[in-house]
Amino acid sequence: MRIMILGAGYVGTTMAGCLLKDGHSVSLIDPDPEKIDTLKSGKSPIYEPGLNELLSFGLAKNKLSVDHNFDLTLEDQDTIIVCVGTPSNEDGTLNLSYIIDVSVQVANAINSINEVGKPKLIIYRSTLEPNTINDLIIPIYEKIVGKIGIKYEIAFNPEFLRESSAIEDYFSPPKIVIGERIPGVTNNLNGLYSNIESPVFNVDYSTAEIAKMIDNTWHGLKVSFANEIGRLTQALNISTQDVINIFLSDKKLNISSYYLRPGNPFGGSCLPKDIKSINSIIENSKIDAPVISSILASNYSHIEYFISLIQEKLLLIEDPKIIFLGITFKSNSDDLRESPYLIIASKLIKLGFKIKIFDNDLDINSMSSSNLKYLSQYLNNFNNHFIEGPLDNCKLNNFDLILYAKNYHEMIANISNSKIIKLNSIE
């Protein structure tokens, strides 16, 4: 393919080298004359192992052209890739001035083409906040060129390149994310990654825009968590490396997808207790550990999130009837200790709502003393709130809102989604 890359920064220059290695013809454009002079000499303006060789190869084979002139001519280009910078403003938002300037120039260049044939594919790889493509970029093109899908198509394809291993990451990515107007409309970016084996996610623009931000936030969270554990273990004169080696050896729960699906707040006998305990150790050791110290507050915020969601759902219903499908802290357990659902139920009652509870994991006539204590603590006259099953659709349809906390799929199979709030997942 004939590909034009706009922006010879880290992402643009690295991608140019990788595309040259794949046999494509690349035009690399950047307004900085120093960068262009460096590129013309066969060297990269940024250091990345192996990149100079790829650029020199492209120049020698007449596959690479470089220019600082943004007076774009796009007739002969199959794809335009935008890699200009989006630096941070003082308030943390992204500075989109370069994105706006380049988008206007590309739109004008496309508008000047009389016969386009198939739509020109414009791929944005710069970091963008969610809704930037929909709310800012597409309106620029539609104002200058006309409706998307006729003379041009726009995609967002975030990069997941690490400095010092970017070329390897390009050819062996953990995933390929493609934000599109319609899933599949770019044909996986017209075969750009046809030689690369990796999971491909065809999603809407906003999902693609936030995907990289979530990845990097998670990476930052991991580093911060590990460093806080390091400070804590050092303060306690415990071997940091022994502790971390034990932690990392658990590929079932610790280093896995477990607990990473957005859904219910945590509860039960272990997590709250141990987190409270480690927070007290942190405080007594006079260690600054803001990530660990914020966990319980974050969990409580999630409980409040669901309560607000429930209140909003019932805003226009007079004297609503509510049922919880599940009240213990997880499925296949009768443990009520620190159950977030019990806390939510208690708060709803205090707000004046009438609730009923169904949970076939819990026998209120033969409860343990700890369960009895928790029920009595959170629900006065708790016997009045529990109902026995089985519950059919007719019984459930008598309720205005079903709070779905456990996997009772068959019970809600024919219930309108408008009556259901899932407390165990966010979809």
- SS3 (DSSP) at 426: coil
Q: Considering the domain boundaries, does residue 232 fall inside one?
A: no
- Here the tokens at position 118 are 């198939």
pLDDT at 343: 95
Same-domain pairing of 177 and 310: no
Q: Considering the domain boundaries, does residue 283 fall inside one?
A: no
**Which distant-in-sequence residues (6+ apart) come within 8 Å of 39 by Cβ?**
8, 13, 28, 45, 55, 64, 66
Q: Considering the domain boundaries, does residue 289 fall inside one?
A: no
Q: Considering the domain boundaries, does residue 284 fall inside one?
A: no
Kindly state the DSSP code that residue 412 receives in the 8-state scheme.
Answer: G
Among the three residues 191, 207, 223, which one is the final residue of a domain in this structure?
A: 207
Kindly state the DSSP code that residue 382 receives in the 8-state scheme.
Answer: G
pLDDT at 201: 96
Same-domain pairing of 192 and 332: no
Q: Examine residue 33 and say whether the peptide bond preceding it is cis (omega within 30 degrees of 0).
A: no
Q: Considering the domain boundaries, does residue 388 fall inside one?
A: yes
**Which distant-in-sequence residues (6+ apart) come within 8 Å of 251 by Cβ?**
none
Same-domain pairing of 324 and 188: no
- Here the tokens at position 227 are 């460093």
Same-domain pairing of 203 and 329: no
Helices (H), 136-204: 138-144, 166-171, 187-190
* Sheet of 354-358, strand order: 354-358, 321-325, 401-404, 420-422
Residue of 18, 83, 270, 394 with catalytic role: 270
Same-domain pairing of 136 and 21: yes
Among the three residues 172, 207, 242, which one is the final residue of a domain in this structure?
A: 207
What residues pair up with 413 in beta bridges, in sequence order?
none
- Here the tokens at position 345 are 């139920």
Residue 332's domain comprises 299-422
Same-domain pairing of 337 and 203: no
Same-domain pairing of 167 and 303: no
pLDDT at 364: 85
CATH number of residue 319's parent domain: 3.40.50.720
Same-domain pairing of 194 and 57: yes
- Cβ(206)–Cβ(131) under 8 Å? yes
Same-domain pairing of 339 and 191: no
- SS3 (DSSP) at 254: coil
Same-domain pairing of 194 and 69: yes
Q: Considering the domain boundaries, does residue 248 fall inside one?
A: no
Q: Is 394 a catalytic residue?
A: no
φ/ψ bin of 259: left (φ > 0), alpha (ψ from -120 to 50), beta (otherwise): left
Distance CA(137)–CA(337), nearest Å, equals: 50
Q: Considering the domain boundaries, does residue 261 fall inside one?
A: no
Q: Are strands 321-325 and 420-422 parallel, antiparallel or unpaired?
A: unpaired
Closest CA to 61 of 30, 19, 108: 19
- Cβ(309)–Cβ(421) under 8 Å? yes
Closest CA to 201 of 256, 212, 94: 212
Q: Considering the domain boundaries, does residue 282 fall inside one?
A: no
In the chain, what is the greatest distance between 2 CA atoms, to the nearest angstrom? 84
Residue with tokens 């079903």: 402
Same-domain pairing of 72 and 191: yes
Kindly state the DSSP code that residue 416 receives in the 8-state scheme.
Answer: -
For the chain, the domain total comes to: 2
pLDDT at 115: 79
Instruction: Output the CA–CA distances (angstroms, integers) from residue 271 to 256, 261, 275, 336, in the order listed.
Output: 17, 17, 6, 13
- Here the tokens at position 423 are 């407390």
pLDDT at 289: 98
Distance CA(68)–CA(77), nearest Å, equals: 17
From first CA to last CA, the distance across the chain in angstroms is: 38
Kindly state the DSSP code that residue 137 receives in the 8-state scheme.
Answer: I
Q: Each residue's pLDDT tens digit in the chain (427 positions)?
A: 999 999 999 999 999 999 999 999 999 999 999 999 999 999 999 999 999 999 999 999 999 999 988 777 888 899 999 999 999 999 999 999 999 999 999 999 999 998 778 899 999 999 999 999 999 999 999 999 999 999 999 999 999 999 999 999 999 999 999 999 999 999 999 889 988 999 999 999 999 999 999 999 999 999 999 999 999 999 999 999 999 999 999 999 999 999 999 999 999 989 999 999 999 999 999 999 999 999 999 999 999 999 999 999 999 999 999 999 999 999 999 999 999 999 999 999 999 999 999 998 998 888 888 888 889 889 988 889 998 877 777 788 899 999 999 888 888 888 899 999 999 988 8
Same-domain pairing of 18 and 146: yes
Among the three residues 185, 207, 229, which one is the final residue of a domain in this structure?
A: 207
What are φ and ψ of residue 152, in 5° steps? -155, 160
